Amino acid sequence: MLDFEIGDVVKTANNRTGTVKYIGAVEGKTETWVGLELDGPEGKNNGTVQGVEYFECKPLHGIFTKLSDITQLISAVAAPKTPSKPPTRPGTRPVPGARPAATSRARPGSIGAPKSPTKPPARTPSGGVSKPALQARQSFSQARSPAVGGRPPSRPPSQTSRPTSVVAAKQPPPPSAPVKRASIGSTTLGGVRTARKPSGSVSSTVSTTRPGPSASVSSAATARTPKDPAAQALETRLRQLEKQNGEQNVTIQELMPFKAKAEKNEALAKKISEKFKDAHTELQEAKRAASIATAELEKAQEEFEISLENTILDKETAEAERDEFQDQTEMLRATIEELELDKQIYEEQAEASMVLDEDMSEEEAQGIHLRRLQMENKKLRAAIIDFRDIHHEREAETKRLRLELEQTIEASESRAKECVELNAKIVQHEDTITTLREQVDANHEWEEILEDVTQRANNLEERNMRQTLEIKELEMVNEVSTETISEYVEFTNDLQAESSQRETELAEMTRDLEQERISNSQKDATLAKYSDAFAEFQNQLQDQDMQQLMSEEKAQGMTDKFNKMMDLHRTMQADRAKDTAKTIDNELTKLSEKEAREELQVLKYYLPENSGEYIHSSLRIYFRAKKIAFKANMIASILTTMDPLTNEGPEKVLTNVYRYDTMYHLEYIRSHGEHFVSAITHCTLEQYRNTVSEYEDISVVETTIERTLDSLKRDDVNMKDLSGSIRGTNKIMRNMTSISQRISNARPDNELVLHTSLLRSSLERIRASFDAVKQYTQLVAEFEPESEDRLDALVERLRKPQTAALECIALVTKMSQALATLQGDDLYPQFPSGVQEVADLSESISAYADKAYEFVGQIITFDPNNQDDETPSVEIDELTMTVNTALKLFAPKDVEDLFRDVKSTVAHWNEYASVLNNTAEIERLPAPWIVRAQEIEASKKHAIDSEKKLQHLTTEHQATLIQIREREEIIDTKELEIEHLRAKHKEAVSKAENMEKLQQELQEAKTDLASYKREIEQQKEDMEELRNRAENAHLAPSSAPPSSPQENAATLAPVEKATKEEDISGSFAAFVQALRQENTWLRQREHRKAFAHIGDVLPPLRKRPDERVKQEKATELLDMAWSLYGPAEALPVTHKVGKKGMGVFEGGAYTHIFDPEVMDVDDLCFVDLEPVVEGLDDLLKGMMM
More confident of the two residues 1004 and 732:
1004
758 and 893 in a single domain? The answer is yes
**SS3 of residue 79 by DSSP:** coil
> In whole angstroms, what is the distance from residue 28 CA to residue 117 CA?
8
Give me the domain span that covers residue 388.
378-512
More confident of the two residues 576 and 194:
576
Share the mean pLDDT of the chain. Answer: 69
628 and 775 in a single domain? The answer is no
708 and 788 in a single domain? The answer is no
Asked if the structure places residue 730 within a domain, the reply is: yes
What band does 993 get if pLDDT is binned at 50, 70 and 90? confident
Half-sphere exposure at residue 920, Cβ-oriented, CA atoms within 13 angstroms: 12
> In whole angstroms, what is the distance from residue 729 CA to residue 705 CA?
9
755 and 893 in a single domain? The answer is yes
Contacts of 633 (CB under 8 A, 6+ apart): 666, 670
> In whole angstroms, what is the distance from residue 14 CA to residue 716 CA?
28
Asked if the structure places residue 761 within a domain, the reply is: yes
757 and 737 in a single domain? The answer is no
Q: How confident is the model over 881-940, as pLDDT tens digits?
A: 777 777 776 665 667 778 888 888 888 888 888 887 777 777 777 777 777 777 777 777
Query: pTM higher than 0.85 for the full model?
Result: no
The residues facing 63 across adjacent strands are 36
Asked if the structure places residue 641 within a domain, the reply is: yes
952 and 978 in a single domain? The answer is yes
Total structural domains within the chain: 6
Phi/psi at 746 (nearest 5 deg)? -85, 0
* Neighbour count for residue 852 (Cβ, 10 Å): 26
> In whole angstroms, what is the distance from residue 839 CA to residue 909 CA?
13
764 and 821 in a single domain? The answer is yes
Where a domain ends, among 976, 998, 1024? 1024
Sign of CA dihedral 490, 492, 495, 497: negative
**SS3 of residue 781 by DSSP:** strand
What band does 19 get if pLDDT is binned at 50, 70 and 90? very high
> In whole angstroms, what is the distance from residue 1125 CA to residue 833 CA?
135
What band does 20 get if pLDDT is binned at 50, 70 and 90? very high
Asked if the structure places residue 263 within a domain, the reply is: yes
Q: How confident is the model over 273-312, as pLDDT tens digits?
A: 777 777 777 777 877 888 888 888 888 878 888 877 787 8
Q: How confident is the model over 1139-1155, as pLDDT tens digits?
A: 333 333 333 333 444 44
Asked if the structure places residue 1155 within a domain, the reply is: no
Return the top range by mean pLDDT from 216-220, 377-381, 861-865, 969-973. Answer: 969-973
Where a domain ends, among 345, 364, 395? 345
316 and 386 in a single domain? The answer is no
Residue type for 100, please? Answer: P
Contacts of 1115 (CB under 8 A, 6+ apart): 1175, 1179
Where a domain ends, among 480, 512, 544? 512
Q: How confident is the model over 427-450, as pLDDT tens digits?
A: 877 787 778 777 777 777 777 777
Q: What single DSSP character describes residue 1100?
A: P
Nearest to 33 by CA among 113, 120, 135, 106: 113
756 and 810 in a single domain? The answer is yes
More confident of the two residues 1111 and 635:
635
What pLDDT, on a 0 to 100 scale, did the predictor assign at position 807? Answer: 87
> In whole angstroms, what is the distance from residue 170 CA to residue 162 CA?
14
Nearest to 707 by CA among 683, 724, 685, 689: 724
Q: How confident is the model over 499-515, as pLDDT tens digits?
A: 677 777 777 777 777 77
**E strand or H helix at 17, and its extent?**
strand 17-24
> In whole angstroms, what is the distance from residue 103 CA to residue 96 CA?
11
Alpha-carbon torsion angle 102, 103, 105, 106, nearest 10: 110
337 and 412 in a single domain? The answer is no
What pLDDT, on a 0 to 100 scale, did the predictor assign at position 86? Answer: 40
775 and 919 in a single domain? The answer is yes
Asked if the structure places residue 417 within a domain, the reply is: yes
More confident of the two residues 296 and 206:
296
Asked if the structure places residue 664 within a domain, the reply is: yes
> In whole angstroms, what is the distance from residue 6 CA to residue 497 CA?
21
Cα 771 from chain centroid?
Answer: 58
Report, as an integer, the average pLDDT of 466-487: 66
**SS3 of residue 261 by DSSP:** helix
Residue 91 has pLDDT above 50, yes or no: no
Q: How much of the chain is helix, strand and coil, in % rounded to 5?
A: 70, 5, 25
Q: Please work out, in degrees rounded to the nearest 5, the angle formed at the alpha carbon of residue 1021 by the alpha carbons of 1019 and 1023.
A: 70
19 and 48 in a single domain? The answer is yes
What pLDDT, on a 0 to 100 scale, did the predictor assign at position 742? Answer: 58
Asked if the structure places residue 1080 within a domain, the reply is: no
- For residue 45, give the CATH number of its domain: 2.30.30.190
Q: At what angle do helices 229-353 and 133-142 cross, to 10 degrees?
A: 60
